[in-house]
Amino acid sequence: MGRARRPWSRRRWVIATVLLVLVCAFSIATARLFVWPSLPPLPEQADAIVQLGGPGNRESTALALARDGLAPMLVQSTYAEDLIDDGECLPPVPDVVTLCFHPDPNTTRGEAQAIARFAEEYGWRSIILVTTPDQAWRASVRVSRCFDGDIFVATTPLPHRLLWLRQIPYQWGATAKAFTVETDC
């Protein structure tokens, strides 16, 4: 005769329930922070549009915002220093000053530090960051540590769905780093 199956013990039910709650909480936090971040509406006018480096068609979004007259300055962060040296930055937009920079360090933190320098130099009080949804919240946090003005975020989709499989773990790691190791500007 076979052994009778023992029902789950109370301890196993508690562990399973706690794990389920943790997985649900993690999934909700991931969705809220990196997939569908809550962003305030864009202003009618800002001092600058700043395109952060990274995946996605950020350049098209930044150019569209500039062409719509949302800011008199358009600034692009580029990871390719040679593009700046060659003068191959963004295409010109009528009545919009276009600048490019290479962040040092070559991270969102480096971009935030550069934004602070530009803000001081040009007297910015408000900016629109252009990025992807996965980076929007963390970029806002990073930039707010260096820039006292109003920060708005415009997002552009990631180029393909499989990129989410890489970006979500990356953003969790980068967020943990931003809140533990690099907590200042």
Per-residue confidence (pLDDT) for residue 56, from 0 to 100: 85
State yes or no: pLDDT of 160 exceeds 80: no
Is pLDDT at 164 greater than 70 in this prediction?
Answer: yes
Query: What's the confidence (pLDDT) of residue 13?
Result: 83
Is 90 exceeded by the pLDDT of residue 177? yes
Buried b / exposed e across 59-88, counting CB within 10 Å, b at 16+? bebbbebbeeebbbbbbbbbeeeeeeeeee
pLDDT digits (tens, 9 = 90+) for 71-103: 999 999 987 665 555 456 888 899 999 999 989
For residues 129-158, average pLDDT: 95
> Which stretches within the chain are classed as H helix?
10-30, 58-67, 81-85, 108-122, 133-144, 163-180
- The mean pLDDT of 114-127, rounded to a whole number, is 97
* CA 101, chain centre distance (Å): 18
| Amino acid at position 179, single letter | F
Rounded alpha-carbon distances, angstroms, from residue 155 to 18, 84, 115, 164: 35, 24, 18, 15
Q: What pLDDT score does 120 carry? A: 97
Supply the pTM of this predicted model. 0.84
Residue range 124-137, pLDDT digits in tens:
999 999 999 999 99
% of the chain residues with pLDDT over 70: 90
